[in-house]
């Protein structure tokens, strides 16, 4: 199946700094990528939908100025957590849909990034 990678897998940063997380589709082109956040004992929550070449669509309650998303190419989307605070500590997962196989509705997930803000 298709592969999605994320980098870094783990990151620790100080409060007030910014962190960039990369999401890459390795063997297919993804015009749309999704960013999810997982809270302890809760489900994955969609943060935003990233479209190549256009502005991301953010879910209600997600601060677009804090979570900057850039989808510069068909294989790369980045999530930048700006001015990070301890409450931003979480597990962030990206996913990409391979539109080449639209009928199968398959969506591929990255391995996730564990962000810890101290």
26 within 8 A of 70, measured Cβ to Cβ = no
The 3-state DSSP class for residue 88 equals helix
**Residue 111 engages other proteins in binding (rule: CB under 8 A):** yes
DSSP type of residue 108: E
**Residue 104 engages other proteins in binding (rule: CB under 8 A):** yes
**Residue 74 engages other proteins in binding (rule: CB under 8 A):** no
How is residue 50 written in tokens?
């990233």
Q: Which spans in 4-44 are helix H? A: none
Determine which residue in the list 71, 112, 115, 117 makes contact with other proteins, applying CB under 8 A.
112
The residue ranges that bind other proteins (CB under 8 A) are 1, 6, 32, 34, 36, 41-46, 49, 57, 91, 93, 95, 97, 104-112, 114
């Amino acid at each position: 199946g298709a592969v999605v990678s994320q980098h870094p897998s783990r990151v620790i940063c100080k409060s007030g700094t910014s962190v960039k997380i990369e999401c890459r589709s390795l063997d297919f082109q993804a015009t749309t990528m999704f960013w999810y956040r997982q809270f302890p004992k809760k489900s994955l929550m969609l943060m935003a939908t990233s479209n190549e070449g256009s502005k991301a669509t953010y879910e209600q309650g997600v601060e677009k100025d804090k979570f900057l998303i850039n989808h510069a190419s068909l294989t790369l989307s980045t999530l930048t957590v700006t001015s990070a605070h301890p409450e931003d500590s979480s597990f962030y997962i990206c996913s990409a849909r391979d539109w080449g196989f639209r009928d199968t509705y398959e969506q591929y997930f990255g391995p996730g990034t564990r962000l810890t803000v101290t």
